Amino acid sequence: MPDFIPNDKKLAELMKKSRLEMPFSDFEDKVMYKIKERVKAKKFILKNISLACLFFVLGTGFGTAVCFFLPELISHSIPVSAGKILLTFQAAFVLVVLTQLEYLIKLVRKYGSI
């Protein structure tokens, strides 16, 4: 039973050995600085993702409004068929919305939620 109970000398020796020496005198400061910089960068990225979402919604709303009012504008100014121009604009609009939505989803997945 005495083998399992360490005496004060053994405990003191073990405590001396368990002490960890820092590689450099300013090691802790450098690590804390890097952590703070990463936190700042993460906040900056999340702010930009929020702005990207906002402008995506605003742009989608504007594009939808243009699709709604485009036949009225075209019929008075251009002799080309309004249906063809509207279909071309709508196809381009859907393509742009889908690609931007894909990029936005990738950003949110990579850097976290908003």
Over residues 53-79, the pLDDT tens digits come to 999 999 999 988 888 887 777 766 677
Residues 11-36: tens digit of each pLDDT? 777 777 777 676 677 888 888 999 99
pLDDT for position 4:
55
What are the boundaries of each domain within the chain? 55-114
If DSSP states are collapsed to H, E and C, what string results for 90-109? Answer: HHHHHHHHHHHHHHHHHHHH
**Within 13 Å, how many C-alpha atoms sit on residue 47's CB side?**
6
The better pLDDT of the pair 112, 106 is held by 106
Coil, strand or helix: which one is 32?
Answer: helix
Coil, strand or helix: which one is 24?
Answer: coil
